[in-house]
Structure 1
Amino acid sequence: INAITTNETYFFRHTKQFNYLHDVLFPSFIANQTNFPKKEVSIWSAASSTGEEPYSLGITCKHFFQNNPSWRFKLYASDINTDVIQQAKEGVYNERAVKYVPDSFKKKFFTQEILDQGGINQKKYKISSEIKKIVEFRQHNLLKRFPVDNINIIFIRNVMIYFDKQTKTKVFNNFFDVLAPKGYIFISLSESLSEFEPKIKSMGTAIYQKV
């Protein structure tokens, strides 16, 4: 399995989706606190690869909720590939992976290191322990039900496109089962979940909401 999974990714891929989280969704959660009696938001990066996506989510959450300290967030990250989970836990990245990280975030949430790789010095960026500790990584097969319920936001980007119809339906139903009422699914801009309407409705920018 580790040899055949796809792991191409970088921080803040599809930046508009992270902006939507920070500028639209999170404020709407705060404004509708009756839907969040525990003041807690749970997010699952369902194909987390080497960690760029869940750590981007962690940075986004940390930046927003620092102004709302009574709220908490839980961040789950999973992948079927144990090698990439280990890389994610180490949290060390090359310059290409962080090219879309805003400078202010780079200074606050990363430390720069120069590592000798085969006699060549390469600049690396290490994610801060502050962000690392808020992401819970685990191995998980998407064909099985995730062992956490009432998740508010699921990121599953650049994965469903590789599934046949039967597999895609099975995986979607597993997501739908653990998604909280009115929860959100984020996919990549090249994908669609339109065949699962009216269970979900499109919110634009490859974002769907549970109906």
Structure 2
Amino acid sequence: MIALPPIVGAVASAGTDAAFADRVRALVAARFGYSPRPAAMAYLRSVLAQRQASRPAEDYWRLLLGSPEELQALVEDMLNHETACGRTPPHFEALRRFVLPVLLTSGRAVRIASLGCATGEEAYTLALTAIEAGDVGDAVQVVGLDLSHRALRTARAGEYSEFSVRELSDPQCAAGFIRAGGTYRVRPQVARKVRFVQHNLLEPLPLVGVEVIFCRNVLIYFEPEAANRVLANIRDALAPGGWLFLGHSESALHLRAWFEPVSFAETLVYRRRSS
């Protein structure tokens, strides 16, 4: 377990904005795994100043410890939800050309999870990719998981700006979205394949025997111990031989022990080892 920062020590050292922000960062990392990079600490201090308002640091610290709602609200303000449909095209190409065709021939339901799905663009792109791969029914189902209630409200609404769909080709965009002015709404045949769940990735995933998991550009925001906890949860949720897609710069201590790297043309994917 990741130890929580001690209350007394936190109050005693909260005399400066930087010291207090670092204590709050440690608390957030302990509860949720998320740890802002050093370059983002100035933003964290800004968020803290807004939420703390005129409260003394000691009072706000006690509020964070005693109110899950306030801690959640603080984290919501801290999180970066920037994403886009079709981000990192080689991943979706590998899924469409190599992974899904094999899974779809089994005749069984295929489940795909998008971890840290933010406002939902990745999850809907996964559903669209399944349709492109030949899923004319609803054999493929996608579940998007994220910590942020705020982001998930946007995801469930399924309405995006042109900026969010900028990486899709024109045919993909037309197949996946209905355009109305500057708004792009997810088509019903795509939306019905996707559902969203609020979840803390430090906790075991509410999924078992999943065939594919996308967890891209998520672990880079986690401290090493927390990243390995998330990776263990992924391992436990994936079916033997299941596929894991990570961001290109991501790794974790047990990655190669639990997952076998597989190269597809322009990208590297991981497959859960059977033992």
Q: Quote how far apart the aligned CAs of 1:63 are.
A: 2.0
Task: Tell me how large the CA RMSD over aligned residues is.
Answer: 1.7
Paired residues of 1:151 and 1:178 also in contact (CA < 8 A): yes
Q: Quote how far apart the aligned CAs of 1:27 are.
A: 2.1
Summarize the alignment of residues 25-44 of structure 1 with structure 2, pairs less than 5 Å apart.
25-30=99-104, 33=106, 39-44=108-113
Q: 1:9 to 1:174 in 2, by over 3 A?
A: same
Name which of 242, 245, 257 aligns with 1:186. Answer: 245
The code of the aligned residue for 2:94 comes to Y
- Aligned residue number for residue 96 of structure 2: 22
Counting aligned pairs with the same residue, the percent is 28
Name which of 161, 165, 175 aligns with 2:234. Answer: 175
Name which of 121, 127, 133 aligns with 1:58. Answer: 127
- Aligned residue number for residue 118 of structure 1: none
Paired residues of 2:228 and 2:254 also in contact (CA < 8 A): no
Aligned length, in residue pairs: 196
Q: Quote how far apart the aligned CAs of 1:193 are.
A: 4.1
Question: Aligned partners of 1:109, 1:53: CA distance in 2, in Å?
Answer: 12
Higher share in strand: 1
Summarize the alignment of residues 91-170 of structure 1 with structure 2, pairs less than 5 Å apart.
91-114=158-181, 123-170=182-229
Paired residues of 2:224 and 2:252 also in contact (CA < 8 A): no
Paired residues of 2:216 and 2:247 also in contact (CA < 8 A): yes
* Structure 2 segments unaligned to the other structure (5+ residues): 1-74
Higher share in helix: 2
TM-score (norm 2): 0.67
Higher relative contact order (CA 8 A, sep 6+): 1
Question: Aligned partners of 1:130, 1:61: CA distance in 2, in Å?
Answer: 11
Verify: 1:209 aligned to 2:271, yes or no: yes
Name which of 62, 81, 84 aligns with 1:7. Answer: 81
Question: Aligned partners of 2:102, 2:252: CA distance in 1, in Å?
Answer: 23
Q: Which one has the largest radius of gyration?
A: 2
Paired residues of 1:202 and 1:209 also in contact (CA < 8 A): yes
The code of the aligned residue for 1:203 comes to V
Q: Quote how far apart the aligned CAs of 1:65 are.
A: 2.7
Q: Quote how far apart the aligned CAs of 1:30 are.
A: 4.3
Question: Aligned partners of 1:139, 1:25: CA distance in 2, in Å?
Answer: 27
Q: 1:139 to 1:90 in 2, by over 3 A?
A: same
The code of the aligned residue for 2:221 comes to Y
Q: Quote how far apart the aligned CAs of 1:198 are.
A: 2.3
Q: Quote how far apart the aligned CAs of 1:64 are.
A: 1.6
Q: Quote how far apart the aligned CAs of 1:5 are.
A: 1.4
- Aligned residue number for residue 115 of structure 2: 46
Paired residues of 1:188 and 1:206 also in contact (CA < 8 A): no
TM-score (norm 1): 0.87
Paired residues of 2:87 and 2:122 also in contact (CA < 8 A): yes
124-133 or 195-204: bigger deviation: 195-204
Question: Aligned partners of 2:151, 2:113: CA distance in 1, in Å?
Answer: 16
